[in-house]
């Protein structure tokens, strides 16, 4: 399955670090500059990538916004068991029929070597 659109927050270290993966796994990669509330009709689901379950206040607020809109959210910890995380993510995307996915994460996560391993393993699965 290839996603129709992946949305990333514009000009952040996190979005820049996963951009290449996003290009391979979606028909289009879009950058969101405005507030997410103004663009909620563009997204059908939210993926929060974290390390050690550490999520920024901004991303918690974003999750709450998606919850209020009754849109599916999924959190993935790149320091967890990668095979399980990948399988669960694939199942979640399929079961929710996600086509327009917003992906967020803390900028500090780009320093974590597990991010690259996670993306490499995720590429093998080919969403």
* CATH number assigned to the domain comprising residue 96: 3.40.50.450
Q: Give the distance from CA 41 to its chain's centroid.
A: 17
> What would the two tokens of residue 49 be?
């990538």
DSSP assignments along 76-117, one per residue: EETTS-HHHHHHHHHHHHHHTT--EEEEEE-GGGGG-HHHHH
Domain that holds residue 55: 3-125
Compute the distance between CA of residue 2 and CA of residue 127 in angstroms, rounded to an integer: 6
127: pLDDT strictly greater than 70: no
Question: Residue 123: is its pLDDT beyond 80?
Answer: no
**pTM score:** 0.90
Average pLDDT over residues 94-122: 90
Number of domains comprising the chain: 1
């Amino acid at each position: 399955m290839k996603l129709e659109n992946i949305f990333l927050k514009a000009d952040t270290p996190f979005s820049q670090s996963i951009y290449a993966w996003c290009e391979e796994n979606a028909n289009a990669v879009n950058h969101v500059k405005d507030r997410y509330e103004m663009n909620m009709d563009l997204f059908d689901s939210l993926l929060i990538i974290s390390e050690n379950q550490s999520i920024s206040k901004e991303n918690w607020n974003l999750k709450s916004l998606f919850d209020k809109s009754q849109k599916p959210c999924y959190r993935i910890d790149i320091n967890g068991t990668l095979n399980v995380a990948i399988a669960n993510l694939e199942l979640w995307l399929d079961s929710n029929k996600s086509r327009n996915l917003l992906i967020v994460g803390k900028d500090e996560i780009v320093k974590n070597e597990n991010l690259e391993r996670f993306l490499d393993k995720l590429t093998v699965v080919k969403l």
